[in-house]
Amino acid sequence: MRVRVSYLHAVAFVALVAAASAHSQVPEWALSHQHAHYPPGKYLLGFGSAAGENANAAARRRAQSDIAAQVRTKVQSELKNTQQAYGLSQDQESYADFKIKSTSVVGEELPDAEIIETAVDSSTKTTYVLTALNKDDFSRSMALQLVADWDRAMNFRRAAEDLLKQGKLTEGIQNLVQARRLVLDLLPKQALHDALARAPFVGIPPLSPPALTSVLRETLSGVRIEKAGGDKQTGRMGENFAGPFVVQVNDSTGSKVVPAIGAEIVFMNSSGEQFGRAITDSKGTAVCSIKVRGNIGQKLRASLFLPMLGAEFSSVLDASSAVFDCTVLEADVAFSLKVDVRSPVVNDALRSLVANAVTRAGYRIVDMSRFMLMVEFKTAPSAAVDSADASFITLSSDLSVLLIDKSSNRTLGSIDGKAQGMATSKEEALIQAARGVKLSGSDLAALLEKAKN
């Protein structure tokens, strides 16, 4: 008896739904998410509905968003296949570029779908919109773009080979980097194509990012930078080394050794601070005169300057570089230091900051000297910042370091620095600002060298 009653209830419910549907103005495709004229094998359908003010525009946006959401789901699956097919590893520095592009490719490449039907349910004042994306048309358009992009990448690769044979090392490497960037950019597009196409697009495996990375490593491994003059020099702080530093740069990537033409060589210390640059001539020779600075240390490394390469190639660049030995003599000038700030703590912080910077530049701070460094410290009006836990004081500060020749009472020059401080009191904020001032090491060294002129 219970089964009989349940069955009757079910029949009654279906009858009620059917009766309601008969009077409803909701289009059938909005209920079924299907349309007889747009088969799923060829079309991707998007559905949207909205009521109230601007209902039509809102429903259109939702229908477009519905298609984009479906495509994103399909693309995520294809991206995994693309990653495996082209050997993209999360350990590679270039992988980050691929992931960034992957997150935006649908929004950047997917066109607005065609609005094919609109209906309004007057009883509920609801607008319904149906959109359709022709997958065949879209994938054909994407395929044409992919063919052009792969061809461009291959042209970059071929141009790199020709340039390297001519000894144009920097230009050849730039073309290889361009090829790799282009492929990393087109692979997400290829995943988008494959998500909607009947058959996947076939790229050019020798142009995969890992393959091009290997070519870059091989090319850099064939570079040799050799010392050709200037080794084991001695120089005094603030003066030029007696002779230039000279290197010979050759490239043996191809079938024969060729001089590297137009390659930029940078001379740096063990910390990576740069002290000079030079361009190789038609014989692969680069000559650089360098001023002695205290932070040079005892060695100068001459290395290829290729900013377009990431950190993943730093070890290969180091292996090809040349290292010069050098000796730095103490400067024949020293400086006194004067800081005139009311707060003893801030005064000490500024004195320590400037004194340490001067020492790093290779000069001494003494009690009495013809040359004095005058430190001026000014702050802007403080401002209160309230948070859920406490109130803070924030302020900005300006630091000036003036070089004064006391014998003539002339100011020879100055450098500036800025900082901000935030604390629960104005005094603590001031101390933070004083300790946080950043001074340019190169600007300070140039200022101190004026005492030698």
Of 228, 220, 247, residue with least CA distance to 320: 220
What pLDDT shows up at residue 238?
A: 82
Q: Are 153 and 182 in contact (CB under 8 A)?
A: yes
Of 201, 155, 202, residue with least CA distance to 179: 155
The dihedral formed by the CA atoms of 363, 328, 292 and 376, expressed in degrees to the nearest 10: -10
**pLDDT reading at 343 higher than 60:** yes
**pLDDT reading at 1 higher than 50:** no
Q: What is the C-alpha to C-alpha distance for residues 80 and 195, in angstroms, rounded to an integer?
A: 12
56-60, 88-92, 342-346, 428-432: range with highest mean pLDDT: 56-60
Q: What is the distance, to the nearest Å, from the Cα of residue 95 to the centroid of all Cα atoms in its chain?
A: 13
The fraction of the chain above a pLDDT of 70, given in percent, is 94
**pLDDT reading at 221 higher than 80:** yes
For 187, the enclosing helix (H) or strand (E) is: helix 169-196
Q: How does residue 325 score in pLDDT terms, banded at 50, 70 and 90?
A: very high
What pLDDT shows up at residue 288?
A: 97
**pLDDT reading at 8 higher than 60:** no
What pLDDT shows up at residue 83?
A: 87
What pLDDT shows up at residue 293?
A: 81
Q: How does residue 24 score in pLDDT terms, banded at 50, 70 and 90?
A: low
Q: What is the C-alpha to C-alpha distance for residues 197 and 208, in angstroms, rounded to an integer?
A: 22
Q: How many CA atoms lie within 13 A of 30 on its CB side?
A: 21
What pLDDT shows up at residue 389?
A: 67
**pLDDT reading at 18 higher than 70:** no
Of 391, 223, 382, 195, residue with least CA distance to 302: 223
In this structure, what token pair is assigned to residue 178?
A: 């361009």
Residues whose CB is less than 8 angstroms from the CB of residue 127 and which lie 6 or more positions away in sequence, other chains included: 49, 50, 51, 55, 56, 58, 59, 118, 119, 120
Q: How does residue 387 score in pLDDT terms, banded at 50, 70 and 90?
A: low
| Mean pLDDT, residues 164-172 taken together | 94
Residues β-bridged to residue 360: none
Length of the chain: 453
- Tens of pLDDT, residue by residue over 264-283, are 999 999 888 899 999 999 99
What pLDDT shows up at residue 176?
A: 96
| Mean pLDDT, residues 231-236 taken together | 93
Q: How does residue 388 score in pLDDT terms, banded at 50, 70 and 90?
A: low
**pLDDT reading at 16 higher than 70:** no
**pLDDT reading at 5 higher than 60:** no
DSSP β-ladder status, 383-386 and 391-405: antiparallel
Decide which of 358 and 293 is more confident: 358
Residues whose CB is less than 8 angstroms from the CB of residue 426 and which lie 6 or more positions away in sequence, other chains included: 382, 393, 395
Q: What is the C-alpha to C-alpha distance for residues 335 and 338, in angstroms, rounded to an integer?
A: 10
Residues whose CB is less than 8 angstroms from the CB of residue 180 and which lie 6 or more positions away in sequence, other chains included: 94, 209, 212, 213, 216
**pLDDT reading at 152 higher than 90:** yes
- Tens of pLDDT, residue by residue over 171-202, are 999 999 999 999 999 999 999 999 999 999 99
Domains of the chain, CATH where assigned: 30-221 (no CATH), 223-329 (2.60.40.10), 334-452 (3.30.160)
- Tens of pLDDT, residue by residue over 392-447, are 888 899 999 999 999 999 999 999 999 888 888 888 888 888 888 888 888 998 89
In this structure, what token pair is assigned to residue 207?
A: 């142009």
- Tens of pLDDT, residue by residue over 81-134, are 888 888 888 777 777 888 888 989 999 999 999 999 999 998 889 999 999 999
- 33 in the Ramachandran plot: left (φ > 0), alpha (ψ -120 to 50) or beta? left
Q: How does residue 247 score in pLDDT terms, banded at 50, 70 and 90?
A: very high
Dihedral sign from CA coordinates of 349, 350, 354, 357: positive
**pLDDT reading at 57 higher than 70:** yes
| Mean pLDDT, residues 341-352 taken together | 90
